[in-house]
């Protein structure tokens, strides 16, 4: 299942294109954070989404090629993060040694997201989070 074309119209959407410079990771995280606040996404979930944005954008900059596109959308009870670059080699989880300082980004993504994957063309890595809405109990 690839969310590069979201199945329903997003209720909210944020998109940007970033230069392939590691300094842009913090810009992406701050921009996503601002959008999530505007959409009233709760702090615990917003924190997870921001961390995944950081990891996916950093991976695209370090291992991809060309400009990096970031899209965050709220659609039908989900928040989806998509990061696209020009590299057709799909992102994949690596095995890291305990003392390796790097190489855990997609492990973090897999742990935090409800689902994650890579588009068929290998250029887009995505993560989906389920919005948990609190429902009020009916009054007696």
**pLDDT value at residue 127:** 98
Tens of pLDDT, residue by residue over 57-72, are 999 999 999 999 999 9
Which tens digit of pLDDT belongs to each residue from 19-50? 999 999 999 999 999 999 999 999 999 999 99
H-helix segments, the chain: 24-38, 43-63, 105-112
- The more confidently predicted of residues 6 and 110 is 110
75, 10 contact by CB (below 8 A): yes
Which tokens hold the place of 131? 């919005």
Look at the pTM and tell me if it is higher than 0.85. no
d(CA 25, CA 56): 9
**What residues form DSSP beta bridges with 130?**
78
Q: Can you list the domains of the chain with their CATH numbers?
A: 12-130 (3.30.565.10)
Q: What is the pLDDT of residue 102?
A: 60
Percent of the chain's residues with pLDDT above 70: 79
pLDDT score of 96 more than 70:
no
Say what the pLDDT of residue 4 is.
47
Confidence of residue 126 (pLDDT cuts 50, 70, 90): very high
Please determine, for residue 3, whether its predicted confidence score (pLDDT) is greater than 80.
no
pLDDT band at 18 (very low <50, low <70, confident <90, very high): very high
Backbone φ and ψ for 126, nearest 5 degrees, come out as: -130, 160
Mean pLDDT across the chain: 86
């Amino acid at each position: 299942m690839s969310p590069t074309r979201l199945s329903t119209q997003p209720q909210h959407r944020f998109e940007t294109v970033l230069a392939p410079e590691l300094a842009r990771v913090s810009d992406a995280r701050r921009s996503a954070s601002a959008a999530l606040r505007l959409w009233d996404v709760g702090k615990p979930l917003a924190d997870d989404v921001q961390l995944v944005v950081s990891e996916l954008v950093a991976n695209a900059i370090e291992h991809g090629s060309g400009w990096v596109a970031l899209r965050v959308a709220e659609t039908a009870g989900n928040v989806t993060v998509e990061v696209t670059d020009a590299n057709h080699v799909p992102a994949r989880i690596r095995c890291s040694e305990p003392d390796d300082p790097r190489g855990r980004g997609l492990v973090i993504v897999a742990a935090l997201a409800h689902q994650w994957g890579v588009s068929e063309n290998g250029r887009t890595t995505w993560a989906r989070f389920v919005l948990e809405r609190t429902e009020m109990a009916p009054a007696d």
